[in-house]
């Protein structure tokens, strides 16, 4: 598995990293008396216990006790350090097998603990968990530093990396060795003396700050709920009204309607509500998360994070944080990432001007006597959609049932990936909440078990907002093949009992997107756990590509049926959806790019004395960002960047990956069998899914497409002007 010492200093990022490369078979270690005694104590803690039961063993989510978390972490870290020391102090000369492969076997007990940590952190957070998280985050960072700064261990890794044996290894083994060496060298292993100590101290401080940032955002999402009365429901669809009533009732506000402080609640309310003053309240509440000048305000935390990140990379000799972060990404440099974003930005804001003009014209014609503001954008965009395309989003929503869309996911997985999904017998696999359901995944042709898929679809207090995919155990084949335990998590509003859960077209795309990550997990055929990781500006490509299958005729004709009548979606409505495919691209592209550009500017600027609020305002003005659209993630709640380091100086990666996505989609559109072309699907799985990070991403894409991706595909895809022909991203 990806070893814990190579992950980000941020504990939330550590969870994400380990979630993609989870526990495997028991680790090898010396059998002395102290370790036997330690193992006996560990076996009594369910969070550390080996997974038993069907499907190669499953997490005991039903028996997990938060009181066991701290001792489990302590014991897991101790054992992991003992395993590492055994490798570092091995008297035999360093080899790929006794150093690199043995390191791949370490940390599996701790990995099991982090499967539970991830659930408490993302799916079922509580004040009690956050107390443990706050205490343990710096200690986990200290633990990580003890390994990255283990001089003897790094010497062995370096010897393998620079030795003659390296030339004889298979390509995937060479890449594993490179990634292992790079993980040390880029994380302080080359430092000496006080610099090495300071590096570790910075990591500990950042771990706490990242944790505090994320918890502050979650506190504002839980603590700020807008309640409205029955006379304020104008324009809202019946399904949304029912879900809002249920949300209010669950919060002891029966008789009222709750607009929760999450995107899945905010966005449809702004789209449909005729109550402009309430729209403004909901908008301001959502975009002020982490920015309320109270105990959960994140501005000072941002400034401190940036200062510490900058100090840390200076110790390594880099000009700025982004230069360090992008060195081993596809983009390679901040300049290349900015070049892509700045090529698209002018077309995006020009399209926004057109969209706002269309909205203002409708508002003026209605005699609304307003100027379009951010809380009006979604509302009037919907009116423009109806006027231009005679397309009503709520009408489309009547055909988008969550259960049917789940079946559509399974259909696509079968046609392209040869996977079958079947529900497991009730009670056979433990779950952490009653809303979670589990499916068995098998290879359709061979019947071989691939793994299990867990789905946690609904919003609830204590669950972080958004949608994500993770694994509890990833594929590997060091000591035998491992079955995959993957999960998808969403925040749909749960309807009243017996009512179909209807979601928007955008939410349906997100469902397909996150399932793309799951298919990436299940497709893996790499031998070594570390190779299940990925390059950040590439790993979103596979999931973004899977979104394209939502709008294929095969999915539309089979699975989009009316939730009441069962009638298939009318052909004329489908035609309207496809005609409006590039509608509102100004909004979608600009709100994303504003956040991505801000992320890069934060991490290429000297942070001394930086005021995040002022910095955000000044940079948005310098970019001539439209006043009608905020950043998708304003700085005080930009969790991708400040609650961990997984996307820091890397949020641009979604657009980098979308260049690949648009280019690959054109390949399927041109194939004889279209999006279900068997030959091209096999090339997709073999070259872009199964190999994970065992091959350099640029080489992997060329193997699939025969050339580099071209930005023109992205511009065409978004309906923007195409002015040049280019052979690269």
CATH at residue 52: 1.10.1370.40
**667 in a domain, yes or no?**
no
User: Same structural domain for residues 154 and 17?
Assistant: yes
Domain boundary among 635, 651, 667: 651
Q: How far apart are CA 492 and CA 243, in angstroms?
A: 10
Tell me the per-residue pLDDT of 316-326, one tens digit each, with 9 for 90 and over: 999 999 999 99
If phi > 0 it is left, if psi is from -120 to 50 it is alpha, else beta; for residue 369 that is left
User: Same structural domain for residues 382 and 408?
Assistant: no
Buried b / exposed e across 657-666, counting CB within 10 Å, b at 16+? bbbbbbbbbb
Kindly report the pTM of this predicted structure.
0.86
Buried b / exposed e across 450-472, counting CB within 10 Å, b at 16+? bbbbbbbbbbeebbbbbbbbbbb
Q: How far apart are CA 78 and CA 97, in angstroms?
A: 23
Q: Between 276-287 and 263-272, two packed helices, what is the crossing angle to 10 degrees?
A: 160
pLDDT for res 496: 81
pLDDT for res 26: 30
User: Same structural domain for residues 154 and 252?
Assistant: no
**424 in a domain, yes or no?**
yes
Side-chain half-sphere exposure of 392, counting CA atoms within 13 A: 8
- What backbone torsions phi and psi does residue 124 show, to the nearest 5 degrees? -145, 55
Q: How far apart are CA 412 and CA 399, in angstroms?
A: 18
- What backbone torsions phi and psi does residue 529 show, to the nearest 5 degrees? -55, -40
- What backbone torsions phi and psi does residue 65 show, to the nearest 5 degrees? -125, 125
Beta-bridge mates of residue 455: 437, 488
Spatial CA neighbour of 708 closest among 697, 724, 722, 695: 697
Q: Take residue 30 and report the two structure tokens written for it.
A: 């010396």
Which range among 79-88, 544-553, 611-620, 714-723 shows the weakest confidence by mean pLDDT? Answer: 714-723
Angle at 245 between CA 243 and CA 247, to 5 degrees: 70
Q: What is the mean pLDDT of the chain?
A: 92
User: Same structural domain for residues 256 and 319?
Assistant: no
pLDDT for res 7: 35
Please say whether the beta carbons of 381 and 355 come within 8 A.
yes
- The more confident residue out of 4 and 636 is 636
Please say whether the beta carbons of 702 and 708 come within 8 A.
yes
User: Same structural domain for residues 340 and 423?
Assistant: no
Side-chain half-sphere exposure of 116, counting CA atoms within 13 A: 28
**397 in a domain, yes or no?**
no
Distances in Å between the alpha carbon of 93 and those of 6, 103, 371, 406, 627?
23, 15, 73, 52, 63
Range of the domain at 282: 224-287
Beta-bridge mates of residue 80: none
Sign of CA dihedral 642, 643, 645, 650: negative
Q: Given 102, 514, 540, 645, which residue is catalytic?
A: 514
What does DSSP say about strands 419-423 and 257-259: parallel, antiparallel, or unpaired? Answer: unpaired
Q: Take residue 284 and report the two structure tokens written for it.
A: 């301001």
Side-chain half-sphere exposure of 61, counting CA atoms within 13 A: 21
Residue for token digits 């790929």? Answer: 96
pLDDT for res 495: 81
Q: How far apart are CA 22 and CA 1, in angstroms?
A: 6
Local structure of residue 419 (DSSP, 8 states): E
Q: How far apart are CA 18 and CA 38, in angstroms?
A: 23
- What backbone torsions phi and psi does residue 472 show, to the nearest 5 degrees? -100, -25
Q: How far apart are CA 3 and CA 418, in angstroms?
A: 31
- What backbone torsions phi and psi does residue 631 show, to the nearest 5 degrees? -60, 145
Q: Which long-range contacts (CB under 8 A, 24 or more apart) does 90-93 make?
A: 90/156, 93/159
- What backbone torsions phi and psi does residue 249 show, to the nearest 5 degrees? -60, -40
User: Same structural domain for residues 107 and 147?
Assistant: yes
pLDDT for res 431: 98
**647 in a domain, yes or no?**
yes
CATH number, domain containing residue 316: 1.10.1370.10
Tell me the per-residue pLDDT of 191-226, one tens digit each, with 9 for 90 and over: 999 999 999 999 999 999 999 999 999 999 999 999
**266 in a domain, yes or no?**
yes
Which range among 6-20, 262-276, 492-506 shows the weakest confidence by mean pLDDT? Answer: 6-20
User: Same structural domain for residues 80 and 51?
Assistant: yes
**168 in a domain, yes or no?**
yes
User: Same structural domain for residues 71 and 185?
Assistant: yes
User: Same structural domain for residues 17 and 162?
Assistant: yes
Asked if pLDDT for residue 24 goes beyond 60, the answer is no
DSSP structure string for 109-173? HHHHHHHHHHIIIIIS--HHHHHHHHHHHHHHHHHHHHHHT-HHHHHHHHHHHHSGGGGGS-HHH
Q: Take residue 167 and report the two structure tokens written for it.
A: 């030339």
Share of the chain above pLDDT 70, in %: 93
Alpha helices in 328-369 (DSSP H): 334-365
Residue 72's CB is within 10 A of a number of other CB atoms, namely 25
Side-chain half-sphere exposure of 217, counting CA atoms within 13 A: 30
Q: How far apart are CA 454 and CA 46, in angstroms?
A: 20
- Count Cβ atoms within 10 A of the Cβ of residue 40 and give its class: 0-12 exposed, 13-18 middle, 19 or more buried: exposed
Q: How far apart are CA 163 and CA 174, in angstroms?
A: 11
Alpha helices in 20-126 (DSSP H): 33-43, 69-88, 102-104, 108-118
Asked if pLDDT for residue 262 goes beyond 60, the answer is yes
Asked if pLDDT for residue 505 goes beyond 50, the answer is yes
Tell me the per-residue pLDDT of 445-497, one tens digit each, with 9 for 90 and over: 999 999 999 999 999 989 998 899 999 999 999 999 999 999 999 999 888 88
Q: Take residue 625 and report the two structure tokens written for it.
A: 């960002």
**308 in a domain, yes or no?**
yes
CATH number, domain containing residue 495: 3.40.390.10
pLDDT for res 12: 36
Q: Give the pLDDT band (50/70/90) at residue 536.
A: confident
Q: Take residue 57 and report the two structure tokens written for it.
A: 């063993």
Please say whether the beta carbons of 208 and 234 come within 8 A.
no
Distances in Å between the alpha carbon of 252 and those of 255, 257, 417, 615, 689?
9, 11, 45, 40, 46
Beta-bridge mates of residue 259: 226
Tell me the per-residue pLDDT of 660-704, one tens digit each, with 9 for 90 and over: 999 999 999 999 999 999 999 999 999 999 999 999 999 999 999
pLDDT for res 41: 52
User: Same structural domain for residues 264 and 356?
Assistant: no
Q: Take residue 254 and report the two structure tokens written for it.
A: 């029966």
Spatial CA neighbour of 645 closest among 57, 173, 190, 202: 202
Domain boundary among 629, 651, 673: 651
**554 in a domain, yes or no?**
no
Number of domains in the chain: 4
Please say whether the beta carbons of 261 and 244 come within 8 A.
no
Local structure of residue 496 (DSSP, 8 states): S
Q: How far apart are CA 450 and CA 456, in angstroms?
A: 20
Has 165 been annotated as catalytic? no
Q: How far apart are CA 545 and CA 669, in angstroms?
A: 12
Tell me the per-residue pLDDT of 142-181, one tens digit each, with 9 for 90 and over: 999 999 999 999 999 999 999 999 999 999 999 999 999 9
Q: How far apart are CA 648 and CA 323, in angstroms?
A: 12
Side-chain half-sphere exposure of 461, counting CA atoms within 13 A: 15
User: Same structural domain for residues 615 and 493?
Assistant: no
User: Same structural domain for residues 147 and 44?
Assistant: yes
């Amino acid at each position: 598995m990806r070893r814990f010492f190579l992950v980000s200093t941020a504990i939330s990022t550590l969870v994400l990293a380990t979630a993609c490369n989870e526990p495997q078979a028991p680790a090898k270690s010396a059998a002395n008396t102290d370790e036997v005694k330690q193992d006996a104590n560990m076996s009594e803690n369910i969070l550390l216990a080996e997974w038993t039961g069907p499907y190669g063993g499953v997490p005991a989510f039903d028996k997990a006790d938060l009181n066991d978390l701290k001792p489990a972490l302590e014991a897991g870290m101790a054992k992991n350090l003992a395993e590492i020391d055994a490798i570092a102090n091995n008297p035999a000369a360093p080899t790929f097998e006794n150093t690199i492969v043995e390191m791949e076997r370490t940390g599996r007990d701790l990995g099991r603990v982090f499967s539970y940590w991830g659930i408490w952190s993302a799916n079922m957070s509580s004040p009690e968990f956050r107390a443990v998280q706050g205490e343990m985050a710096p200690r986990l960072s200290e633990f990580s530093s003890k390994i990255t700064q283990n001089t003897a261990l790094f010497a062995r890794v370096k010897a393998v990396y620079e030795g003659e044996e390296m030339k004889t290894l298979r390509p995937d083994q060479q890449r594993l060795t490179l990634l292992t060496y790079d993980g040390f060298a880029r994380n302080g292993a080359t430092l000496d003396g006080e610099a090495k100590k300071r590096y570790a101290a910075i990591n500990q401080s950042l771990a706490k700050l990242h944790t505090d940032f994320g918890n502050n955002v979650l506190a504002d999402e839980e603590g700020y709920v807008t309640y409205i009365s029955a006379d304020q429901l104008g324009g809202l669809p019946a399904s949304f009204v029912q879900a809002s009533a249920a949300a209010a009732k669950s919060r002891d506000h029966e008789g009222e309607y709750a607009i929760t402080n999450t995107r899945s609640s905010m966005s449809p309310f702004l789209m449909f509500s005729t109550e402009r003053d309430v729209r403004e309240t909901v908008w301001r509440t959502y975009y002020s998360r982490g920015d309320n000048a109270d105990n959960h305000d994140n501005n000072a935390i941002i400034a401190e994070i940036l200062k510490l990140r900058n100090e840390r990379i200076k110790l390594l000799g880099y000009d700025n944080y982004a230069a360090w972060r992008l060195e081993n990404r596809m983009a390679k440099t901040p300049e290349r990432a900015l070049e892509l974003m700045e090529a698209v930005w002018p077309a995006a804001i020009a399209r926004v001007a057109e969209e706002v003009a269309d909205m203002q014209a409708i508002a003026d014609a209605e005699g609304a006597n307003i100027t379009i503001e951010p809380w009006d954008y979604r509302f009037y965009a919907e009116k423009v959609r109806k006027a231009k395309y005679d397309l009503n989003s709520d009408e489309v929503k009547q055909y988008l049932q969550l259960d049917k869309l789940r079946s559509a996911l399974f259909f696509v997985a079968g046609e392209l990936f040869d996977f079958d999904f079947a529900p497991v017998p009730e009670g056979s696999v433990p779950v952490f909440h009653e809303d979670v359901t589990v499916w068995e995944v098998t290879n359709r042709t061979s019947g071989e078990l691939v793994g299990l898929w867990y789905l946690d679809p609904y919003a609830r207090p204590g669950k972080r907002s958004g949608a994500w995919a993770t694994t509890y155990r990833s594929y590997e084949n060091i000591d035998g093949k491992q079955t995959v335990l993957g999960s998808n998590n969403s925040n749909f509003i749960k309807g009243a009992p017996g009512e179909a859960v209807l979601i928007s077209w955008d939410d349906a795309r997100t469902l397909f997107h996150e399932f793309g990550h799951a298919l990436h997990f299940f497709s893996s055929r790499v031998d070594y756990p570390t190779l299940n990781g990925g390059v950040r500006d590439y790993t979103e490509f596979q999931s973004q590509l899977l979104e394209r299958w939502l709008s294929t005729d095969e999915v539309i004709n089979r699975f989009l049926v009316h939730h009441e009548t069962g009638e298939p979606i009318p052909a004329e409505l489908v035609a309207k959806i496809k005609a409006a495919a590039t509608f509102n691209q100004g909004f979608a592209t600009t709100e994303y790019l504003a956040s991505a550009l801000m992320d890069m500017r934060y991490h290429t600027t000297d942070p001394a004395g930086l005021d995040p609020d002022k910095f955000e305002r000044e940079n948005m003005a310098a970019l001539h960002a439209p006043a009608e659209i905020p950043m998708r993630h304003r700085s005080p709640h930009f969790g991708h960047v400040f609650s961990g380091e997984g996307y820091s100086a890397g949020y641009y990666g979604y657009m980098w990956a979308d260049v690949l996505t648009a280019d690959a989609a054109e390949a399927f559109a041109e194939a004889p069998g279209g999006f279900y072309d068997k030959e091209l699907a096999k090339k997709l799985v073999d070259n872009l899914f199964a190999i994970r990070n065992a091959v350099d991403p640029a080489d992997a894409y060329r193997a699939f497409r025969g050339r580099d991706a071209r930005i023109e595909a992205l511009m065409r895809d978004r309906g923007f002007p195409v002015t040049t022909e280019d052979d690269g991203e």
